[in-house]
C-alpha cells in the first residue's frame, strides 16, 4: 500500500497551485472601488433628495405658496434629484410694476394652493411656489420669459413640455381651471374650496332694503311701478350686460386687458374667438347701447307727430348711430373670427 501510494503523493506534491493572472488584481480592485463609489453616490443622492423634500414640507407647513429666488429655484427645481412636481407662478407683484392682472391671478393661485394644503390628499408629491420678477430676474432671463403672470409645471423627471405651460390667455386664471390643468399634468386632483364671500348677499340685502324703503315712502302713490319706460330701461341694462359677456367674465376670470411686453402696446380686444378681455365686454356693451339708442331715435322720428325738421334731425342722428356703431361692432367681430369676409365702413 505504501509503495503504491508513494507515486500518487509525489504527483500531488509536484503539482503547482493555480493562481489568477497577475493583471486581474488591479481590475478587481478598480471594480470594487467603482461599486463602492456608485453605492456612495446613490446614498448621497437619496440623502440630498430627502433633505430637499423635508425642506419643502417645512415651508409648506408655514404657508401654502413659498417664494423663490434664483438660488432656491436652481436648487429645488432645476437641479436633480427630484421626485415631486412643482407648480411655479412667475409674476410681478411689486407696486411699481402696476400689474393688476398679477394680483388677480395671485388671489386665485392662493385659493388653489390653500385648497391643496388643507385637503386630506395633501402629500409631498406636489408643491406650489412663486418667483417674483424683482426677486428672481435671473430666473426670468434663464427661461427667456418676458411676460407675467405665467404658470408652469416642472415634472419630477425631464424638462417641462409645451403643455406644462398654462394657457392663461385662452382659459383664464380661475382656480378651478388651474386645478383641472394640474390634474392633467400630474394626476393630482384638487377640490377647490373658496372662502365664503358675503358681498353678494350684502348687496342683495341692501337692494331689497332700498326697494322696500322706496315702496314704503311712496306707498300712497305707486303709479311709477307701472311706468313702462322705467321697466324697459331696466330690461335693456340686463340684456346689455348678458350679451356683452359679463357672465363669461364672472366664470372664467379673464384679465382686464393685455400689455405687450415688447412694445408696451395695450390690447383691449382679444385676437381669438375663444376668449375675451373684461375691457372688451365693456366696449361691446357700449356699442350695443349706442345701436339701441339709434334704433329708439329712428322709431321716435317715425312715430312722433312733432315738427318735421326736428323729426328729420332725430332720424339722421339715429341713422348715424346705427350705421357707425354697427360698423364698429362688425369690425370687432371680423378681427376675432379670422376669415369673416364682410365689413361695413370700418375694416
Burial letters for 306-315: b for 16+ Cβ neighbours within 10 Å, e otherwise?
eeeeebeebb
Domain span holding position 180: 42-186
pLDDT at 13: 46
> Is there a domain that residue 25 lies in?
no
CATH classification of the domain holding 104: 3.40.30.10
User: Is residue 259 in a domain?
Assistant: yes
pLDDT along the chain (347 residues), means of 10: 47 49 60 59 78 90 91 89 92 85 90 92 92 91 88 91 88 90 93 82 89 81 78 87 83 75 77 81 91 90 83 90 90 81 75
Residue 255 lies in a domain: yes
The reply to whether 69 and 154 lie within a common domain is yes
Whether residue 167 sits in one domain with residue 68: yes
Number of domains in the chain: 2
Question: Which pLDDT score, from 0 to 100, does residue 30 have?
Answer: 65
The answer on 159 and 232 residing in a single domain is no
Q: What does the pLDDT read at residue 20?
A: 46
**130 has which bridge partners?**
67, 89
pLDDT at residue 201, as a whole number:
86
What is the pTM for the complete model shown? 0.56
47, 166: one domain: yes
Residue 11: per-residue pLDDT: 47
My answer on whether 260 and 154 are in the same domain is: no
H/E element holding 266? strand 266-267
Q: Is the peptide bond before 81 cis (omega within 30 degrees of 0)?
A: yes
Amino acid at each position: 500500500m505504501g509503495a503504491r501510494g508513494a507515486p500518487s503523493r509525489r504527483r500531488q506534491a509536484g503539482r503547482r497551485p493555480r493562481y489568477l493572472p497577475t493583471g486581474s488584481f488591479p481590475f478587481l480592485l478598480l471594480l470594487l472601488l467603482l461599486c463602492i463609489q456608485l453605492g456612495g453616490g446613490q446614498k448621497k443622492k437619496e440623502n440630498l433628495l430627502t433633505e430637499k423634500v423635508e425642506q419643502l414640507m417645512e415651508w409648506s407647513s408655514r404657508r401654502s405658496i413659498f417664494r423663490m429666488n434664483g438660488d432656491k429655484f436652481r436648487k429645488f427645481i432645476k437641479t436633480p434629484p427630484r421626485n415631486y412636481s412643482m407648480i411655479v407662478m412667475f409674476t410681478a407683484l411689486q407696486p411699481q410694476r402696476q400689474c393688476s392682472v398679477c394680483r388677480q391671478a395671485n388671489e386665485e393661485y392662493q385659493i388653489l394652493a390653500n385648497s391643496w394644503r388643507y385637503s386630506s390628499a395633501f402629500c409631498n408629491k406636489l408643491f406650489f411656489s412663486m418667483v417674483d420678477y424683482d426677486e428672481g430676474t435671473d430666473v426670468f432671463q434663464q427661461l427667456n420669459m418676458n411676460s407675467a403672470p405665467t404658470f408652469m409645471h416642472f415634472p419630477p423627471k425631464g424638462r417641462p413640455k409645451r403643455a406644462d405651460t398654462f394657457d392663461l390667455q385662452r382659459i383664464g386664471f380661475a382656480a378651478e381651471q388651474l386645478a383641472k390643468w394640474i390634474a392633467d399634468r400630474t394626476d393630482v386632483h384638487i377640490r377647490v374650496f373658496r372662502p365664503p364671500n358675503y358681498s353678494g348677499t350684502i348687496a342683495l340685502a341692501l337692494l331689497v332694503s332700498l326697494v322696500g324703503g322706496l315702496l314704503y315712502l311712496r306707498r300712497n302713490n305707486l303709479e311709477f311701478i307701472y311706468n313702462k319706460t322705467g321697466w324697459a330701461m331696466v330690461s335693456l341694462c340686463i340684456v346689455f350686460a348678458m350679451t356683452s359677456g359679463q357672465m363669461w367674465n364672472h366664470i372664467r376670470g379673464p384679465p382686464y386687458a393685455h400689455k405687450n411686453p415688447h412694445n408696451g402696446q395695450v390690447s383691449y380686444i382679444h385676437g381669438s374667438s375663444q376668449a375675451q378681455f373684461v375691457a372688451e365686454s365693456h366696449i361691446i356693451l357700449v356699442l350695443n347701447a349706442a345701436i339701441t339708442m339709434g334704433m329708439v331715435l329712428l322709431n321716435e322720428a317715425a312715430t312722433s307727430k312733432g315738427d318735421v325738421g326736428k323729426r328729420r334731425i332725430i332720424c339722421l342722428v339715429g341713422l348715424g348711430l346705427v350705421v357707425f356703431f354697427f360698423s364698429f361692432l362688425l369690425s370687432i367681430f371680423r378681427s376675432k373670427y379670422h376669415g369673416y369676409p364682410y365689413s361695413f365702413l370700418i375694416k
